[in-house]
Amino acid sequence: MKLRRTILLFLICSLAGCIGSVNPISTRTLLLEEGDRVSQRRDAIPKLYEFYNNRPDDREGYEVISKRGGKFILNYVPSLGLLTLCGKPGLGWSKQFIDVDETLLKTLVDNKATFDDLNTGKYDTLLVTKTPVFRVNTNGKPF
């Protein structure tokens, strides 16, 4: 009987760990290595939009990661309509927006929105903040 309970608890924990996950293998990543912190954060949204629109295949997620001065992750999961930000890798996701589609991404590009604009709430009237943050998989290290 004790063994049954242990197995049942293990199965429940295993299944609970799968809820809300996106397969990291299906996340396509663009690494930004050129430019300083300001330029990388300024160009993050246009680069993500271009990267997503020029995709050679369909993936579950697309992201732009700064490997140098910008130090951020901008992750987009189109099927879920999630745009997720990490402003300081290692400290977790900082903000997440729901109901984001290609048209809304284009609007952000047209308005010259920056990563910092999204992270500080400048576009909170246009974007719907999701709390708690749905943990999306990434090829970066938000935690």
Kind and range of the H or E run holding 96:
strand 95-98
pLDDT bracket for residue 70 (50, 70, 90): confident
Q: Are 62 and 51 in contact (CB under 8 A)?
A: yes
Measured CA to CA in angstroms, residue 40 lies from 30, 35, 54, 106, 134 at distances of 12, 6, 19, 18, 25
More confident residue, 16 or 112: 112
Q: Report pTM.
A: 0.81
Q: Which of 87, 76, 95, 82 is nearest to 29 (CA)?
A: 76
Mean pLDDT of 74-97: 95
Q: Which of 3-7, 50-54, 100-104, 134-138 has the lowest mean pLDDT?
A: 3-7
Q: Which residues contact 122 (CB under 8 A, 6 or more apart)?
A: 113
Reported as a single tens digit per residue, the pLDDT across 97-138 is 999 999 999 999 999 999 999 999 999 999 999 999 999 989
More confident residue, 82 or 18: 82
More confident residue, 75 or 13: 75
Q: Is the pLDDT of residue 15 over 60?
A: no
